[in-house]
Chain A
């Protein structure tokens, strides 16, 4: 059974700092990995999608990497801003079994960027 773990559970940094969020998964048989942002009480906003054949994706100040063989992904945020404060969720889509294609989520990293 696929399990997704995110470390750290919470992170507080001063504005302007570069930071890395970590995600690990136990089963490398995945279609893709997706990073989301969730503001309190709101829905999920898709940040980056990395297909299993890709190594990284970039969008603005965000860069996500994927090492499928080791079951790891990182989300790098450059020059953090207070507006980046949110919970960041990592999710993988498995490519086999009864739940094929469904997103399995980690518990998230709650990020706080202090002005």
Chain B
């Protein structure tokens, strides 16, 4: 099983809403990632968790708050987003950060209105 599952697939939220994106994997991977992808652009790294600890935050605004409650789950909490935050949010995992293969989920299409 090389599956990374993201929910929801689509999300529309207002600028005053609070919502969460969820990501789950059962491959025993200890590195998990959030990427943001705008239309016709490559994915851009947002956060990296290694062994459930936040190891990289690529200068992401505080309205995005990641959480890794256990080794299989990764959340992205959203609050007071702007319309320009509308994008495809991708979760990925790998055995560890470094020389291992990364597997991506199908993404959450987020629209901020």
Q: How far is the CB of A8 from the nearest CB of chain B, in Å?
A: 15
28 residue pairs from A and B, CB less than 8 Å apart? A31-B98, A32-B99, A34-B101, A41-B88, A41-B109, A43-B6, A43-B90, A43-B105, A43-B106, A43-B107, A44-B43, A46-B103, A46-B104, A49-B101, A51-B99, A89-B42, A89-B43, A93-B98, A93-B99, A99-B56, A101-B31, A102-B33, A102-B48, A102-B56, A103-B43, A103-B92, A107-B41, A108-B42
The count of A-to-B residue pairs whose CB atoms sit within 8 angstroms is: 65
Residues in A with CB closer than 8 Å to B43 are: 44, 89, 103, 105
**How many B residues touch A, CB cutoff 8 Å?**
26
Residues in A with CB closer than 8 Å to B109 are: 41
Cα of A95 to Cα of B96 in the assembled complex, Å:
13
